[in-house]
Amino acid sequence: VVYDEKGLELMNELHAKGKNVILAGAHMANWEMYAMTFSRRIAHKTMAIYKKLNDPVIDEAMRDSRERMGLVMTEIVECKKWMDEHVANGGEPVAVGFGFDQSPQKPERAWWTTFLGVETAVYFGVEQWAHRYDAAVVYGSVRRVGRGRYKVDFRLVVEDVKGLEQGEVVDRCLGELEEEVGMAPSDWLWSHKRWKHTRPEGMVLQPRRFERKFGK
């Protein structure tokens, strides 16, 4: 895995400004290698939010493989507490990794919009955390550039979320993912059953207003 130099420069600039970063990403290409290496390539302290796996052996192995490279793995139920304490204690700028392309467990609490032209329930955490911690939002792109070779690029979604309309951050992140999937559909983990939920009655389908990359 190689990292695009401009993307690393972006992360260094945000760190120098003291900005926390919400690092949105998807299960594209060799995302596991990206998850294990990005903490060594950026100046930020790194934390990733994850759901504990049912198999304790696999869960421990997964955590160990990532934490030995400096990444702090925090369960969903503990992540806000960890971040609140880190910020309250004046901790160094942190980059929080979100895998936002999975299907939410509770469709009645999700943000409903269209993705790849299909009604889709989306995790709203990327946008909520950006506002809660006044963080920049960066999209971490992983693409295949050859047999067994991958490239990571960090692309700025928005540096300052203050004043943005509701849904704008989510829209822009979905636009980045749509572009990735469109360029390399076989590299996306379709097995996540992205569309297993049906929109609950009364839930509003939010229009895509920003950076829509599909169906233009």
Question: Other C-beta atoms within 10 Å of 182: how many?
Answer: 12
pLDDT over 70 percentage in the chain: 96
42: helix, strand or coil: coil
Judge if pTM exceeds 0.85: yes
Using alpha carbons, select from 50, 193, 66 the residue that is nearest to residue 120. Answer: 193
Residue 215: predicted pLDDT: 42
Q: What is the mean pLDDT of residues 199-210?
A: 94
What is the extent of the structural domain holding 26? 2-192
Residue 210 resides in a domain: no
Residue 214 resides in a domain: no
| Cβ(167)–Cβ(153) below 8 Å | no
Residue 164 resides in a domain: yes
Residue 203 resides in a domain: no
pLDDT in tens, 125-136: 999 999 999 999
Residue 192: predicted pLDDT: 65
CA angle 209, 214, 216 (to 5 degrees): 75
Residue 197 resides in a domain: no
Query: How many domains is the chain built from?
Result: 1
Residue 216: band (very low, low, confident or very high) from pLDDT cuts 50, 70, 90: very low
Q: Lowest mean pLDDT: which of 40-44, 102-106, 211-215?
A: 211-215
pLDDT in tens, 151-191: 999 999 999 999 999 999 999 999 999 999 999 999 999 86
- The residues, any chain, with a CB within 8 Å of residue 3's CB and separated by 6 or more, are 38, 41, 151, 152, 153, 154
Residue 156 resides in a domain: yes
Residue 102: predicted pLDDT: 84
Is a pLDDT exceeding 60 seen at residue 213? no
Residue 213 resides in a domain: no
Q: What is the mean pLDDT of residues 48-60?
A: 84
Residue 209 resides in a domain: no
- Burial of 118 per CB tally in 10 Å (0-12, 13-18, 19+): exposed
